[in-house]
Amino acid sequence: MEQIRKFFQEDRFAHSVGIELLEASFGRAKAKLEIREHHLNALNTVHGAAIYALADMVGGIAANSNGNSAVALNSNISFLKAVSKGVLFAEATEISSNHKLSSYIIRVTDEKDDLIAIVQALAYKKKDAAQSE
């Protein structure tokens, strides 16, 4: 999975947000985000964009874990609980895959394993240059 770690290291946005990759394997990924002041919105809860960025990152890692390039086609997030401090975890699990599309469920939880958000995501597997030759 060194290839996936390299993929993550090249994601400048994820690093600027503070996302840390914890695990990666075929069709799966887990990461965390320590909540900081700049992650909070005007209501002093974690901004939805920060939660989504964490979920999107693990979804992208899981979708790209087979070595081919994959990009998001669609995702749907449901925010279930507000949080203001601590650590968030996101775990992506592949639930379906074929030669063009793969589908993921991504759970975002807090330190007590309370469900903060859930995402259903669909990725398109691009034909890489090496495959088209």
pTM of the model: 0.91
For residue 122, list its beta bridge partners.
74, 103
* pLDDT tens, per residue, the chain with 133 residues: 677 777 778 889 998 999 999 999 999 999 999 999 999 999 999 999 999 999 999 999 999 988 778 999 999 999 999 999 999 999 999 999 999 999 999 999 999 999 999 999 999 999 764 444 3
CA pair distance 5, 93, nearest whole angstrom: 17
Q: Which domains occur in the chain, in start order? A: 2-132 (3.10.129.10)
Q: For residues 88 and 35, is the Cβ–Cβ distance under 8 A?
A: yes
State the DSSP code for 38. G
